[in-house]
Structure 1
């Protein structure tokens, strides 16, 4: 059985609790998305993110200083949405981390498919965002069937 969750918009960095197990499976695709986003102005990103000025400023600064290889937080600890709050991973024991690592997948517009212990850094990007990378017209087309194949 696989449990599939959407990521939350609100994220934190926690490099003190538990170290991540590794990097997301599709890190090369993430670098491509990051590069595309870095070519956009703050106003363009605000439109893509569909957010207010304060959130745009926060996420623009995150993007400008983003290092997807260092100072990472395990994905399951990084997201602060309601599903993650109720799961309460901050109080997991080892066996619970093992269970979610084997059974939980987080589908991310930025990272693709995440295992709970994959190291991530805060970002803002939704699958519905108007993103045209290369010849594709949106993130659904960009990720194509890679997410499905990874989960299966």
Structure 2
């Protein structure tokens, strides 16, 4: 199985990393370089308008585009799973994973990215801001979905063949947002897709609450990593932070997890 995650807007390039942490290079550097070349033509006001950013954030990201290089080093980048710092990654809490855990994640987790296409957890990543839904025009089309086309799905197919060759039908567990999962060409993807839904009790019923759902996606990824999950059925044992599988509300391709109240 392969677990898909969205990236995060918040980044952490300041917290020290352990010595000797393994790293790899992103697999779509040529495509990222092409996108950076387009982004470098944008002024701070244009970036602010394109991405709905404040002037301060626009200026920060214009500087990032100018500093970006096709060579990834310890001084200009860090492993993606340890660089992202949003709600999903707080739930995943990668800094407390063992080296063996990170090695398993490297083979079974894929982070979708507007700039990098797909990142493995240990791929070095330079800081950036480029959400997948951005309408950035390139030679490939009017937005990033057209830019990436079927490349992301084909990459996932390759990874699934490498690790699920003897496991029957390949399975993708979608823990990414719809904005990012739309970048996966479903016609090109040769895998069964299972979605995980996280609901909390609010008022008079169970509802998806964005903040809690994002964190739960990270918790599910962590559960998969630490338990070395190999089948969708094993996901049903997920019980972190008070969540429990809700079989009556679930379907084979849509697993629902619920909790009455957030953990203190």
Q: Any idea what SS the aligned residue of 1:43 has?
A: helix
Q: How does 1:15-34 map to 2 (within 5 A)?
A: 16-18=16-18, 19=21, 21-34=23-36
TM-score by length of 2: 0.55
1:1-152 paired onto structure 2 within 5 Å: 1-13=1-13, 16-18=16-18, 19=21, 21-69=23-71, 70=73, 71-152=76-157
Q: CA RMSD in A?
A: 1.6
More strand by share: 2
Gaps of 5+ in 2: 158-264
The count of corresponding residues between Structure 1 and Structure 2 is 152
5+ long unaligned stretches in structure 1: none
> Is the CA contact 1:68–1:120 (under 8 Å) kept in the aligned structure 2?
no
Measure the CA separation in 2 of the matches of 1:121 and 1:40. 19
Mark the structure with the bigger radius of gyration. 2
Report the Cα offset of residue 123 of structure 1. Answer: 0.3
Q: Distance in 2 between matches of 1:48 and 1:20?
A: 36
Higher RCO, Cα 8 Å, sep 6+: 1
Paired residues of 1:20 and 1:118 also in contact (CA < 8 A): no
Summarize deviations over 1:43-71 as a string: whole Å, max 9, x none. 11111221111211221222222234232
* TM-score when normalising by structure 1: 0.93
Contact 2:24 2:122 in 1 (8 A): yes
Q: Residues 33 and 110 of structure 1 are in contact (CA less than 8 Å); yes or no, is this contact kept in structure 2? A: yes
